[in-house]
Amino acid sequence: MLETTLYQTLSSMELMVSLTTKVHCTSLDSGHLDGNEITTLAEKAFCELKHLNELNLNSNSLTEETSSIPTDLFSCNPVLSMLDLGNNLMQYLPESITNSNSLLAISVLTLNYNKLTVIESNSFSNHSMLTDLHLENNLIVTIEDNAFQNPSQS
């Protein structure tokens, strides 16, 4: 268990295990887990972090599978505005991003340097606060109609 007294970054620690426990640093507003080899995140791993504003999971080994990134992973983080999932192994957008109950405050979403091939319709439909979306250096061949449009605006 990570205690509330942890102030160091967890970047580039060569974590090769799954993050299978909840993080209990309740006052944490910025989390840096980039540069590890994390393959799996526990369901609601960040639920205790009600003030989490920024989360960097760049350069890990995460895929789009729900076993890697659970569907409701970010459902308890109402103020999360910056999420970096770049440099992972995702071939399509995980449900934790496209889920209409998650990431309501997200303004910066980084998904560059993955293996994304398709951006499906309504993928970002519930992200009305989104101002910066980084999709560069993927393998995108298809962007479906209304991929970036709120269904109520169709």
pLDDT digits (tens, 9 = 90+) for 136-150: 999 999 999 999 886
In sequence order, the β-bridge partners of residue 23 are 2
Task: Tell me the two tokens of residue 129.
Answer: 């606060």
From the number of C-beta atoms within 10 Å of its C-beta (0-12, 13-18, 19+), residue 130 rates as: middle
Domain ranges of the chain: 26-153
Q: Determine the Cα–Cα distance for residues 135 and 98; give it in Å rounded to an integer.
A: 15
Query: What is the pTM assigned to this prediction?
Result: 0.85
pLDDT digits (tens, 9 = 90+) for 34-93: 999 899 998 888 998 899 999 999 999 999 888 889 998 999 999 999 999 999 999 999
CATH code for residues 26-153: 3.80.10.10
